[in-house]
Each structure stands twice: as C-alpha cells, then as structure tokens.
Amino acid sequence: MTDLRDKYLARINDASEEAALEQVRLDAIGKKGEVSLAMRSLGKMTPEERQVEGPRLNALKDEITSAIAAKKAALEDAALEERLSREWLDVTLPARGGAGGPARGSIHPISQVWEECTTIFGDMGFTMAEGPQVESDWYNFGALNIPDYHPAREEQDTFYMHRGEGDDRPAHVLRTQTSPVQIRSMEEHGAPLRVICPGRVYRADYDQTHTPMFHQIEGLAIDRDLSMANLKWVLEEFFTAYFGRTVKTRFRASHFPFTEPSAEVDIQCSFEGGTVKVGEGDGWLEVLGSGMVHPKVLQAGGVDPDQWQGFAFGMGIDRMAMLKYGIPDLRAFFDSDLRWLRHYGFSALQVPTLRGGA
Ligand code: DAH
C-alpha cells in the first residue's frame, strides 16, 4: 500500500504536462487502474482485513485524486505564465507593417469633405455649429416656415419618433435637413451671424442617389445690407477653393418655404465619356438650394427682420464628395466595405487645407 502511494505520488509529481498526468490517473484510479483493482479485491478479503484495508484504499484514492487536481492546476498556471511571457506585446510600438507598408486606417471621404468644407468656410469667417439629430417638429419645420400641409412633412419623407398612447403633442422627428440649426444658432448668438452647420440628416428614401441617412452642410449669414450678390460671391469662392479651379455657377429661381427669393444653384460641368467633370464644358449640375432668409424665419430665431437680412444655403456633403472624388454610388459610402474604404479613403495625415485635395 505504501508502495502504491509512493509510486503514484512520485509519478504525479514528475508529470510535466496534462497528458502525462491523465495517464497517471488512468493507471492509478482509472477503471483498470492499480488502486481500483485493489479496491475490487476487497471482496475476497476476510471482514477483518476489509475493515482495515477498505478505509486505507479509500483514503489513498482520495489522496491521489486531490494530488492530481493540484498538479493539474499547477500545470495550467505554468502554461498560462508561459503563454503570457511568450505573447507579450508592447502596445507602444508603431503599427506592425503589412505587405504594403504599415497597417493603417483611413479617413472616410465624408469626413474628409466635411473637413474641407468647414475649413474653406472657416477661412471666410464662418464658425461651425451643430444641432441635435432628433429634432422637434418646431425646429425642423414650423420655425422654418414649413406649414402643416407641406409635402415635406409627409410620412414617406420624414421619420417620426414614436409618441406614447394618448400623447398628442407634435412628434419629434429625425431631422430631415440641417436648416433647423439656423434657428438654434440665431437663438444662441443673435445677429450679426455667420455659421456653417454640417451634420447628418434623415429621409425615408433609398436608391443609387438616396440613402435614409446622408449629410448636409448648411450656411447662414446675417448682417445689415446683405444681398443675393453676397451669397453668389461666397458660393463661387467656395466652389473655386473646393474644386481647385474656377467654377461658374448658375442661379435658377426656385421655391423654399424658408427663403424669399429662393434659388437653386447649378455648377458648370461636362458629362463627356460618362464621367462628370466640374468646372469645364457647357453642362450644369444642381448642387444646392439657397436664398435670402424669409422674414418669418428670422423672427422665429429672434432676429428683427426690419434691421437684419440674411442669406442661407444648404448642400449635400455626400454629393460634393461624389463630384470631387468621382464616386458613382452613394450607397457605397455606408457599406463599410474595406476595399472601398482603401480605394477612396484618405490618409489620416492628409490634413485638409484651403486648397487641398483638388
Ligand atoms: N433644407 C433644404 C433641403 O434640405 C436645402 C436648403 C435650401 C437649405 C435653401 C437652405 C436654403 O438654407 O436656403 O432641401
């Protein structure tokens, strides 16, 4: 019995890996293990012998079982220690080089164009403002002189937030345009004012040129004696900086509830060979809506329309990115396809400059 004990405790002690330990377990207390066989032979003993041998064998079995468990835990700890020291990683090291150089993320075209636009307008004295994406009915529509019956409010365009049963206050909406930031900026800063408001907007629409979420950039300038001429100058200055070449514009009379007069602005481009080239040719492409801020809108923002005038404009950031970087399908912007991002993305170090990226 002491032989058995010494033998197996020694083997357990010597086992250097889990497989060896398992073998010891089988040899000692497995079905055909030595200790198990000894226990089975208890039946052939005299009751007296059994009374002595039985408890001894049981104690031996328990001792071996716990010795194995302890050794197993020790082996696992050692394996973990070993792995931790082997897989040690210095997170302060530079990114590991892949096949094509250092592994890197890239700046999404939307972020790039967002930065380019705010940089250019910033240089013209516009400060940046942002507003909430979940907007009240008042800011998104009412304050912008969009009456209740206006088709823009209809369900197919606007995402309405759910209201509780019996709660008949006007619903909040996912803002359908960045124009509500005009009102918020007027309320916050009063006149005079020059702000540029980039942000996400939402409409229930989906095809090659429409996605339910997209990006707009809104501009608002309020001062004494502002006119459409100032608007035209600012926009032409912007397009020239943005596209890196002189871009002719064409103002077409239009209608928006929040401006009077209103104009849609086209930029000069050619469509030859199936690609759009801005700043050449004799074609026109509509890129934004604009106008002189409606007196009711100034009033809604707390600005006296007898003292101040303003011009405003709104354009699609995604559209501007497609035009400048030759990206054909809007939906791909939001697919998170790495191949697309590698192709159209920008280096994180390529900081937009006033005339950058042209
Ligand atoms: N909010 C308009 C839209 O989403 C765009 C727009 C038109 C903005 C005229 C303006 C503006 O500020 O003056 O279609």
Query: Is 237 annotated as contributing to ligand binding?
Result: no
The per-residue pLDDT for 358 is 39
Question: What percent of the residues of the chain are helix, what percent strand, and what percent coil, each to the nearest 5?
Answer: 45, 20, 35
Mean pLDDT of 189-210: 93
Distance 218 CA to ligand 1 centre (A): 7
Which atom, in ligand 1's list, is nearest to the CA of 182? 12
Task: Write the residue with the smallest CA distance to atom 4 of ligand 1.
Answer: 177
Q: Residue 312 pLDDT more than 60?
A: yes
Cα–Cα distance, 175 to 153 (Å, whole number): 11
List, in order, residues 6 or more apart from 69 with CB less than 8 Å away. Answer: none
Q: Which of 178, 313, 318, 320 most suits a substitution to test ligand 1, by most atoms within 8 Å of the C-beta? A: 313
Cα–Cα distance, 58 to 191 (Å, whole number): 93
Distance 216 CA to ligand 1 centre (A): 9
Q: Record the tokens describing residue 28, joined without a space.
A: 């000692």
Q: CA neighbours within 13 Å on the CB side: how many for 264?
A: 10
How far CA 322 is from CA of 23, 76, 318, 325, in Å, comes to: 67, 56, 6, 5
Task: Determine contact, residues 269/277, Cβ cutoff 8 Å.
Answer: yes
Dihedral sign (CA 113, 117, 119, 120): positive
pLDDT tens digits, one per residue of 73-89: 999 999 999 998 888 87
Mean pLDDT of 265-290: 90
Distance 217 CA to ligand 1 centre (A): 9
Give start and end residues of each alpha helix (H) in 109-151.
Answer: 109-123, 137-140
Distance 108 CA to ligand 1 centre (A): 25
3-state secondary structure of 42: helix
Query: For residues 127 and 207, which has the higher predicted lDDT (pLDDT)?
Result: 127
Cα–Cα distance, 303 to 281 (Å, whole number): 42
Give start and end residues of each alpha helix (H) in the chain.
Answer: 2-14, 18-29, 34-40, 47-86, 109-123, 137-140, 180-189, 228-243, 295-300, 317-325, 338-344
The per-residue pLDDT for 101 is 52
Task: Write the residue with the smallest CA distance to atom 13 of ligand 1.
Answer: 290
The per-residue pLDDT for 273 is 81
Amino acid at 205: D
Least confident of 129-133, 238-242, 325-329: 325-329
Task: Determine contact, residues 255/262, Cβ cutoff 8 Å.
Answer: yes
Cα–Cα distance, 29 to 35 (Å, whole number): 6
List the Cα angle 317/239/318 in 5-degree steps: 15
Cα–Cα distance, 182 to 71 (Å, whole number): 72
Q: Across-strand partners of 217?
A: 198, 315
The DSSP code for 172 is P
Q: Residue 202 pLDDT more than 70?
A: yes
Q: Beta strand 127-128 with 193-202: parallel, antiparallel or unpaired?
A: parallel
The per-residue pLDDT for 92 is 78
Pocket of ligand 1 (CB under 6 A): 177, 179, 218, 256, 258-259, 289-291, 312-314
Residue 63, class by beta-carbon neighbours within 10 Å (0-12 exposed, 13-18 middle, 19+ buried)?
middle
Amino acid at 243: F
Distance 348 CA to ligand 1 centre (A): 31
Longest CA pairwise span in the chain (Å): 119
Q: Which of 174, 232, 258, 264 most suits a substitution to test ligand 1, by most atoms within 8 Å of the C-beta? A: 258
Q: Beta strand 309-316 with 213-223: parallel, antiparallel or unpaired?
A: antiparallel
pLDDT tens digits, one per residue of 137-167: 999 999 999 988 887 777 668 999 988 888 8
Q: Residue 2 pLDDT more than 90?
A: no
Least Cα distance to 297 among 184, 161, 151 occurs for: 184
Distance 83 CA to ligand 1 centre (A): 60
Cα–Cα distance, 64 to 69 (Å, whole number): 9
Task: Write the residue with the smallest CA distance to atom 8 of ligand 1.
Answer: 314
